[in-house]
């Protein structure tokens, strides 16, 4: 049986991952916009934190949230998401290599939703909280991502 990794107190989680989050956000947004996105990232993480079932892969989890916060900011600024570096350019190792490879071609939001649903076993409500959308939108993004994967598989 796999040992259950306890979710650490939020303070430890925040201390451990804040630099990696800020690094990623600055790379995506530049210095000034990164500061706002930093706060929003950890607030989203905090909103979903109570429902995490285990403490594994928390770095990848928070970097996924950071990425989505940054994408939202870029969209708001009407910048093309084509300029956004790909997940692979993140210097942290991602868990679930298989999931990573499989979902590489999905649109950003769907990919994040599929990752959080199948990589982290989060509920749609938590995924919505992490991505800053409703649970219904999270459910739709996940199932649309899965449908896209199935279609690709059948081709």
38 near another protein, judged by CB under 8 A: yes
Write down the residue that tokens 């979710």 correspond to. 7
Instruction: Rule CB under 8 A: choose which of 4, 5, 43, 104 binds another protein.
Output: 43
33 near another protein, judged by CB under 8 A: no
* Residue-level length of the chain: 155
Sign of the CA dihedral running 87, 23, 8, 127: negative
Nearer to another protein, 4 or 104 (CB): 4
| Shortest distance in whole angstroms from residue 43 CB to another protein | 6
Q: How far apart, in whole angstroms, are the C-alpha atoms of residue 119 and residue 52?
A: 12
With contacts defined by CB under 8 A, name the span among 45-53, 56-64, 87-95, 103-111 that binds another protein.
45-53
Q: How far apart, in whole angstroms, are the C-alpha atoms of residue 56 and residue 67?
A: 19
Nearer to another protein, 19 or 78 (CB): 19
How would you label 85-110 residue by residue, b for 16+ Cβ within 10 Å and e otherwise? eebeebeeebbeeeebebbeebebbb
With contacts defined by CB under 8 A, name the span among 48-56, 74-82, 84-92, 115-123 that binds another protein.
48-56
Instruction: Rule CB under 8 A: choose which of 1, 3, 11, 76 binds another protein.
Output: 11
Q: Do residues 7 and 55 lie in contact, with contact meaning Cβ atoms separated by under 8 Å?
A: yes
8 near another protein, judged by CB under 8 A: yes
């Amino acid at each position: 049986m796999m040992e259950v990794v306890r979710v650490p107190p939020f303070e430890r989680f925040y201390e451990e991952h804040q630099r990696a989050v800020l690094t990623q956000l600055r790379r995506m947004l530049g210095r000034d916009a990164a500061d706002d996105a930093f706060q929003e990232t950890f607030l989203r993480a905090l909103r979903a934190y109570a429902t995490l079932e285990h403490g594994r892969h928390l770095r990848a989890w928070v970097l996924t949230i950071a990425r989505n916060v940054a994408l939202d900011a870029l969209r708001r600024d009407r910048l093309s998401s084509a300029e956004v570096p790909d997940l692979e350019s993140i210097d942290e190792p991602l868990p679930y290599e298989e999931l990573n490879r499989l979902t590489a071609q999905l649109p950003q939001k769907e990919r994040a939703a599929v990752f959080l649903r199948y990589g982290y076993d989060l509920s749609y409500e938590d995924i919505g909280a992490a991505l800053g959308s409703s649970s219904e939108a999270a459910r739709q993004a996940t199932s649309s991502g899965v449908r896209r994967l199935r279609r690709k598989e059948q081709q």
